[in-house]
Amino acid sequence: MANIILTNANIIDCTGADPRPNGWVVIEDKRIKEVGHGRKGALPAKAAVIDCHGQTLLPGLIDAHVHLASVEASIVEQQRRLLTSTLVIKTLKVMRDTLDQGFTTVRDCGGVDAGFRQAVAEGLVPGPRISVSGAAISQTGGHADWRLPSETYAPVTHPAGLSSIVADGVPAVQKAAREQLRQGVDFVKIMAGGGAASPSDELDTSQYSLEEMQAIVFEAESAGKYVSAHCYSDRGIKLCCKAGIRTIEHCNLITESSAQAMKESGAYMVPTMVTYVMISRMGKELGLPDGFVRKINEALDKAENAVAIAVKLGLKIGSGSDLLGPMQVYKGLELALQGKIMGAMNALVATTRTNAEIIRREKDLGTIEAGKLADFVLVKGDPLKDLALFQNYKDNLTLIVQEGKVYKNIL
Residues that bind Zn ion (CB under 5 A): 109, 322
Q: Which residues pair with 27 in a beta bridge?
A: 4, 32
Please state whether beta strands 376-379 and 397-402 pair in parallel, antiparallel, or not at all (unpaired). antiparallel
What is the number of the residue whose Cβ is closest to Zn ion?
322
Single-letter residue type at 25 = V
Instruction: Kindly provide the b/e burial profile for residues 253-271, where b requires at least 16 CB atoms within 10 angstroms of the residue's own CB.
Output: bbeeebbbbbbebebbbbb
Contact predicate 56/23, CB 8 Å: no
What SS3 state is found at 316? strand
The enclosing H or E element of 260 equals helix 256-265
Minimum CB distance to Zn ion, residue 401 (Å): 28
The phi-psi region of residue 208 (left if phi > 0; otherwise alpha if psi is between -120 and 50; otherwise beta) is left
- Residue 238's CB: how many other CB atoms inside 10 A? 21
Instruction: Please identify, using beta-carbon distances, which residue of 109 and 348 lies nearer to Zn ion.
Output: 109
**One-letter-per-residue 3-state SS of 322-381:** CCCHHHHHHCCHHHHHHHHHHCHHHHHHHHHHHHHHHCCCCCCCCCCCCCCECCEEEECC
Minimum CB distance to Zn ion, residue 65 (Å): 6
- Residue 39's CB: how many other CB atoms inside 10 A? 7
Burial (CB < 10 A; 0-12, 13-18, 19+), residue 179, is: middle
Instruction: Please identify, using beta-carbon distances, which residue of 232 and 407 lies nearer to Zn ion.
Output: 232
Q: Which residues pair with 103 in a beta bridge?
A: 61
Instruction: Please identify, using beta-carbon distances, which residue of 19 and 326 lies nearer to Zn ion.
Output: 326
Can you point out the beta strands (E) in 96-220?
103-108, 129-132, 136-138, 164-166, 188-191
Instruction: Please identify, using beta-carbon distances, which residue of 131 and 402 lies nearer to Zn ion.
Output: 131
Instruction: Please identify, using beta-carbon distances, which residue of 145 and 322 lies nearer to Zn ion.
Output: 322
Instruction: Please identify, using beta-carbon distances, which residue of 328 and 354 lies nearer to Zn ion.
Output: 328
Please state whether beta strands 268-270 and 316-317 pair in parallel, antiparallel, or not at all (unpaired). parallel
Minimum CB distance to Zn ion, residue 35 (Å): 35
Instruction: Please identify, using beta-carbon distances, which residue of 10 and 74 lies nearer to Zn ion.
Output: 74
Instruction: Please identify, using beta-carbon distances, which residue of 3 and 247 lies nearer to Zn ion.
Output: 247
Residue 395 phi/psi, 5° resolution? -90, -40
Minimum CB distance to Zn ion, residue 143 (Å): 9
CA distance 404 to 318: 25
Minimum CB distance to Zn ion, residue 249 (Å): 6
Minimum CB distance to Zn ion, residue 69 (Å): 11
Instruction: Please identify, using beta-carbon distances, which residue of 328 and 402 lies nearer to Zn ion.
Output: 328
Residue 161 phi/psi, 5° resolution? 75, -145
Minimum CB distance to Zn ion, residue 233 (Å): 15
Minimum CB distance to Zn ion, residue 67 (Å): 6
Minimum CB distance to Zn ion, residue 13 (Å): 29
Minimum CB distance to Zn ion, residue 136 (Å): 8
Instruction: Please identify, using beta-carbon distances, which residue of 104 and 247 lies nearer to Zn ion.
Output: 247
